[in-house]
Amino acid sequence: MGRVTQTTPDTSTLHPADASDAPWWRDAVIYQIYPRSWADSDGDGVGDLPGITARLPYLRDLGVDAVWLSPFYVSPMNDAGYDVANYRDIDPVFGSLGDADALISTAHDLGIKVLVDLVPNHSSSEHEWFRAALASEPGSPERGRYIFRKGRGTDGEEPPNNWPSVFGGEGWTRVTEADGSPGEWYLHIFDTTQPDYDWNNPEVGDEFVEILKFWCDRGVDGFRVDVAHGLVKEEGLPDWDGPLQMLDATDSSEAAALPPEDRENRPSGDAPAHEPVPHEEEEPQRIHDTGLGARPPMWDQEGVHEIYRRWRSILDDQPSPERILCAEAWVKPAERLARYVRPDEMHQAFNFDFLDTHWHADALRAVIEQSYKNNDAVGAPTTWVLSNHDVVRHASRLGLDQSLPRPNGIGADNPQPDAELGLRRARAATMMMLALPGSAYIYQGEELGLPESTDMPDEFRQDPTFHRTQGKEIGRDGCRVPIPWKADAPSLGFGPGDATWLPQPESYARYAVDVQKGVEGSTLELYRSLLAARRDGRLGLGSFRWHALVGSSPDVVAFVNGSQDGDRETLVVVNLGSEPVELPAGAEVTHRSGDLTDDGAVPTDTAVWARI
């Protein structure tokens, strides 16, 4: 069986159980819908709101608590809707406000809450505010809503600083003034068509408060906040020569690929990692130890927290049920991320450290333990996630060489994932995630075991990352391909015709919903059974402690999720090693990600839930 070591694990309670009447969001399982790719009702090849509404019973049957909808607002779609031209209306490609109302109402009737995406770092260049800014003079109130600056050099011909775009190329674009002369530059941390707001301007903050109220009035239950760590930039906009540490997360992935003893110790400040940082002790300066160098001046500035305190007060004033904020914040180290979920700020923040951790037991144990210590210190749940619309799907990611950083997309000429290995590990990883106390997010299609599309011809790619880097970065199109519903139908049941906005690989047919529904052992049925057991046992509100099995092998993640009343204890064992792992005497397996050995041991890359 597994290797025996002299390690004696600490099996005391690391995370206490939540109260049985805890707010809904503390243990919710939330399903991300990428509207373009979930269901097309009219045959134009693009998913839409009526298509989502018609498919909502599928999510009720799957067993999720809420959905998060990626942007559906009016947009020129230069970045798949994350370039918003009107925050109070629906893009015609997706439907209408009436369609949004019908979706929200239907979801609520089915017992499903609805979160929408909020994009506050930048607008589209087609937004009426930015059009007004371009038509106005330098120094005007219209330009004051964005970050316009004079250029450097004799005639202002050089950008105001050296900041790059996350998508590649420069982070600044020069405008032509009304008289035809070269003029000021505007900042766009993302695409040229996504100018950054200036959050030092009170008008910007007031506008977003009204946007929050608008959607609350329409019945939404919360907001996923895009680039939550990026709204405020360091005063003076100093040059930055380091990596942006955003989306591709190259540096953190390199660290995650190594076992903890080979990673640099990354303390932050003198206080223990589990102690909360009160508001009055916030740092005014940028330079501090993140373990990855100084904090970039465009990310994680102290001013963002005041924005979210204001938003939290707005949502807290709304009638029940409680509305929530979830931060997309790629922040290092973990104790800084916990600052976003202090009691008067956001409710949830995606645990990207967990998503970025490679398939190494010691690395997974370390990130789980640190996550609980930091989030518990501020009274927040940990929000677990394995896939989303910005990263390679975990059914493919875990089939790659785990000694290498996570790639930003996979193309036909790149090393290809081992599909069988990736799916086996993905099923085990999901079993681990859904047994961890806290909330969890599921990305559309992962319940089917859907892999990344890795053979997409370049002419179909739409991610601005691919185009701004001249193809050096493959980008995110591969995880955004339309979902397969019916194996033998046109567009695999995505829509009534053959059209799809991105091509579906032939391999997707074998992952279709109708192929897996009701089939014992399928990934879809595994997810359904796990979600039902999680809800029935209130695992999301449970306590957490390591099990002694982690001391018997360095390649095992083993923990116990216990109910508050002590009546239920669920043992979770994930074997990442090469030898089978024996379960303790009396353990009764209730769920497994794959077959066990003939004598009931847990084989390589397999997970189990068991009663003890």
DSSP string, 171-220: SEEEEEPTTSSEEEEEE-SS-TT-PBB-TTSHHHHHHHHHHHHHHHHTT-
- Would the pLDDT of 419 be above 90? yes
Q: What angle do CA 228, 35, 534 make, to 5 degrees?
A: 75
Q: How do residues 103-125 score in pLDDT, each as one tens digit?
A: 999 999 999 999 999 999 999 99
Q: Name the band, by pLDDT with cuts 50, 70 and 90, for residue 222.
A: very high
**Residue range(s) occupied by CATH 2.60.40.1180 in the chain:** 542-611
Of 310, 312, 331, give the one whose Cα is nearest residue 322. Answer: 312
Nearest to 130 by CA among 190, 77, 179, 194: 194
Q: Are strands 383-385 and 348-349 parallel, antiparallel or unpaired?
A: unpaired
In tens, the pLDDT along 38-83 reads 999 999 999 999 999 999 999 999 999 999 999 999 999 999 999 9
Nearest 10 degrees: Cα torsion 162, 168, 169, 173: -80
- Does the structure show a pLDDT above 80 at 5? no
Identity at 103, one-letter amino acid code? L
Of residues 482, 472, 503, the one with CA closest to residue 248: 472
pLDDT at 411: 96
The CATH architecture to which 128-187 belongs is: Alpha-Beta Complex (3.90)
- Average the pLDDT over each of 3-12, 120-129, 347-356, 572-581 and give the range with the smallest value: 3-12
CB 333 within 8 A of CB 266: yes
Does 267 score more than 50 pLDDT? Answer: no
Asked if 540 contacts 28 with a C-beta cutoff of 8 angstroms, the reply is yes
Say what the pLDDT of residue 164 is.
Answer: 96
Closest Cα to residue 452, out of 486, 434, 426, 430?
Answer: 426
**Given this model, what pLDDT does residue 295 score?**
85
Identify the band that residue 7 occupies on the pLDDT scale cut at 50, 70 and 90.
low
Give the pTM.
Answer: 0.92
Residue 245 has pLDDT above 80, yes or no: no
Q: State residue 247's pLDDT score.
A: 44
In percent, the amount of the chain with pLDDT more than 70 equals: 91
Residues of each domain in the chain carrying CATH 3.90.400.10: 128-187
Give the C-alpha separation, 229 to 241, whole Å.
19
CATH number of 542-611: 2.60.40.1180
Where in the sequence of the chain do the CATH 3.20.20.80 domains occur? 20-120+202-529
**Omega before residue 333 within 30° of 0, cis:** yes
Please report which confidence band the pLDDT of residue 293 belongs to, taking 50, 70 and 90 as the band edges. Answer: low
Q: What are phi and psi of 439, to 5 degrees?
A: -100, 165
Into which CATH architecture does domain 20-120+202-529 fall? Alpha-Beta Barrel (3.20)
| pLDDT above 80 (res 280) | no
